[in-house]
Amino acid sequence: MTIITTDFIIVGSGIAGLSAALALAPYGDVIIVTKGTVHQGSTEWAQGGIAAAMNSDDTPKHHYEDTIAAGDGLCNPSAVRILVEEGPIRVKELMELGARFDRDGDTFSFTQEAAHSRRRILHAGDATGREIEKTLGNTVRRKPNIRFLENTSVSKLLVEDNECQGCVILNNGTVNILVGRAVIIATGGCGQVFAYNTNPSVATGDGIALAYTAGATIQDMEFTQFHPTTLYTGDKRPISLFLISEAVRGEGGILRNIHGERFMPRYHPSAELAPRDAVARAVYDEMKITSSTHVFLDLGDIPFDLATRFPTIFKRCRESGIDLRHDFVPVAPAAHYFMGGISTDENGQTSIRRLYAAGEAASLGIHGANRLASNSLLDGLVFGHRAGITAAQETPKISWPHITHQPSPEPLSTNPKLLKSHIRDTMWHSVGIVRSQNLLDQAANFFDTLWPLMRCEAATETLLELQSLAIVGRLMVQFASTRTSSWGSHFRSDYPRKNPAHSGHLWINNSMDHPQLKTHFSTTLQTNTDFEL
């Protein structure tokens, strides 16, 4: 076993991790650990765009108000203010690095998406994430003091006296140790815990599971955003579903049921431009009412050349025999984005010293109970940068501790492929768009049988992913059971209204000694909407 020393360790290579790496580059050596390749994360998959108040009729105040409204009363106003004020600065820096966004002549081509009051979405066709990932990735690779460890997993965080000293890494059966001044978790979300999702296969919640096992505080695990429109492909069930971007409805796409009837005006005054949680539940209800497996998206009234504006979507639909210019597109909801995760402050600091988190793996209340469309890339860009700067400034150089690590995995007899399928099916059935205590109890009973898996020290990549899925799934169940109220993306049929007593945020510390997890309410994050420039 080799001990590798560096200044800073980043786990994850999406927009948050790369943004942190660029911020750290002037301060020391950086190692970026990613279990796939640089281009396999969720950033690469982002279609719609990145929101920033840069249009002539827009302001950070407007962006702030829209984000607060979408978050359904659970946003951290201070964090949102940072997002909307620093967002344009970070986006301009991204452009200076070479990112190219669509233009109409000499001005940027801003689009509008659900719950935005202004056209503020910058986009690069319908492959904005790819453009951003390429720009950041190429810039980072040119830095001589930044090194990538691809196809490498982190199996454990090394924490002593509530201070993170590094991590254990796993590559094709070989175990080594990374030691550094600080560790930043930027592993993205955990959409793969659901049978139907839009996330890449690597999105198994590893960072959240690592932090929880190490003793970090975790919060708001009940809030999963289900995207209303993924391409419905019949009985075929790939590991990740193809997303039909929010921007399609922002440009005029209409939702119709299987009888061809427009239905969104019956569910919400903003119709197709309602917040995602409202649209997803409306689609879910309409499918149930019409006994169908999908609804349709009608793009017939969009006044653009669809092949030019949405080239990726146009091409993928055409491969399925669908012509966007003439055909209705069959769509259904799927898990898309995660608002909960590792609890941090506004600089990415977790409850463990020298351990930071940013992006979708982190949770500081930016998105509240429901994320505003196209705020995710901005979140990673802004708070990845802040986590990097803070880690550099607040973790002075140390004498490397003497670390020994002896992996001792518990023997487990299981079929990994079958168990992963059981976890994903259980989560979709019991912790999906509509929840109830009966369904949540069924899921809790299932996850309690997996306790040996959650507690073992995984010695293979396959077992490590299973362990992550089991831990984040069990946490989601516990959080959803504790919030006996409906807020934003968390909807319970047995408690369909908001309970004022549950207006705060839920948090949990490590309880790995016993399967009865204990969650707690906290109202430390204020929910006012004051904004002063």
| Helix ranges restricted to H, 5-58 | 15-24, 42-45
**If you search the block for the tokens 């409306």, which residue do you land on?**
282
Residue 222: what pLDDT?
96
Cα separation, 63 vs 112, whole angstroms: 12
Looking at the domain assignment, is residue 273 inside a domain? Answer: yes
* pLDDT tens per residue across span 85-107: 999 999 999 999 999 999 988 88
Nearest to 337 by CA among 488, 164, 516, 499: 488
Residue 147 CA: distances (Å) to CA of 100, 137, 243, 355: 26, 12, 32, 19
Largest CA distance in the chain: 69
Nearest to 179 by CA among 483, 325, 398: 398
| Average predicted confidence (pLDDT) for the chain | 89
Q: What are phi and psi of 220, to 5 degrees?
A: 55, 40
Last residue of a domain, one of 333, 364, 396: 333
**If you search the block for the tokens 């590798």, which residue do you land on?**
4
Last residue of a domain, one of 333, 353, 369: 333
Looking at the domain assignment, is residue 60 inside a domain? Answer: no
Looking at the domain assignment, is residue 420 inside a domain? Answer: yes
Residue 412: what pLDDT?
64
What is the CA 106 to chain-centroid distance, rounded? 33
Q: Identify the band that residue 421 occupies on the pLDDT scale cut at 50, 70 and 90.
A: very high
Mean pLDDT lowest for which of 86-95, 126-135, 348-357, 482-491?
Answer: 126-135
Q: What are phi and psi of 121, to 5 degrees?
A: -95, 110
Residue 531: what pLDDT?
35
Looking at the domain assignment, is residue 128 inside a domain? Answer: no
Looking at the domain assignment, is residue 25 inside a domain? Answer: no
* pLDDT tens per residue across span 290-318: 999 999 999 988 888 898 888 889 999 99
Cα separation, 334 vs 344, whole angstroms: 27
- Is the dihedral angle over the CA atoms 97, 102, 105, 107 positive or is it negative? negative
Cα separation, 190 vs 423, whole angstroms: 12
Query: Which regions of 347-466 does DSSP assign to beta strands (E)?
Result: 355-357, 362-363
* pLDDT tens per residue across span 443-464: 999 999 998 888 888 888 999 9
Neighbouring residues of 129: CB distance < 8 A, sequence distance ≥ 6: 15, 42, 43, 44, 45, 46, 47, 377
Range 2-13 average pLDDT: 95
Strand, coil or helix: 162: coil
* pLDDT tens per residue across span 158-212: 999 999 999 999 998 899 999 999 999 999 999 999 999 999 889 999 999 999 9
**If you search the block for the tokens 């309602």, which residue do you land on?**
274
Strand, coil or helix: 407: coil
pLDDT of 484 higher than 70: yes
Range 483-508 average pLDDT: 91
User: Does 328 lie in the same domain as 231?
Assistant: yes
Residue pair 117/66 in contact (Cβ under 8 Å)? The answer is yes
pLDDT of 525 higher than 50: no
Residue 502: what pLDDT?
80
Mean pLDDT lowest for which of 59-68, 226-235, 239-248, 371-380?
Answer: 239-248
Residue pair 16/41 in contact (Cβ under 8 Å)? The answer is no
Cα separation, 237 vs 401, whole angstroms: 48
In one-letter notation, the amino acid at residue 274 is A
pLDDT of 147 higher than 70: yes
Residue 425 CA: distances (Å) to CA of 224, 235, 242, 254, 441: 16, 15, 19, 30, 15
- CATH number for the domain harbouring residue 495: 1.20.58.100
pLDDT of 371 higher than 60: yes
Cα separation, 238 vs 232, whole angstroms: 11
- List 338's β-bridge partners, or say none: 224
Rg over CA atoms, the chain: 22
Residue 515: what pLDDT?
46
Q: Is the pTM of this model over 0.85?
A: yes
- CATH number for the domain harbouring residue 271: 3.90.700.10
| Helix ranges restricted to H, 97-187 | 128-141
Last residue of a domain, one of 291, 318, 333: 333
State the DSSP string of 379-391. HHHHHHHHHHHHH
What are the residue numbers of the active site? Answer: 276
In one-letter notation, the amino acid at residue 392 is A
Query: Residue 250's domain spans which residues?
Result: 226-333
Range 364-371 average pLDDT: 94
Q: Identify the band that residue 45 occupies on the pLDDT scale cut at 50, 70 and 90.
A: low
Domain count, the chain: 2
Residue 46: what pLDDT?
59
Q: Identify the band that residue 355 occupies on the pLDDT scale cut at 50, 70 and 90.
A: very high
User: Does 234 lie in the same domain as 328?
Assistant: yes
State the DSSP string of 206-246. HHHHHHHHHT--EE-TT-EEEEEEEE--TT---SSPPB--H
What is the CA 229 to chain-centroid distance, rounded? 17
Neighbouring residues of 187: CB distance < 8 A, sequence distance ≥ 6: 11, 12, 205, 206, 207, 208, 210, 359, 361
More confident call, 240 vs 272:
272
Looking at the domain assignment, is residue 251 inside a domain? Answer: yes
Q: What are phi and psi of 345, to 5 degrees?
A: -90, -170
Strand, coil or helix: 459: coil
pLDDT of 263 higher than 80: yes
Q: Identify the band that residue 43 occupies on the pLDDT scale cut at 50, 70 and 90.
A: low
Q: What is the DSSP letter of 490?
A: B
Pair of tokens at residue 261: 């009837």
Looking at the domain assignment, is residue 23 inside a domain? Answer: no
| Helix ranges restricted to H, 244-338 | 246-250, 264-267, 276-289, 306-309, 311-319
Number of H helices, E strands in the chain: 16, 22
pLDDT of 467 higher than 70: yes
Looking at the domain assignment, is residue 434 inside a domain? Answer: yes
Cα separation, 193 vs 189, whole angstroms: 10
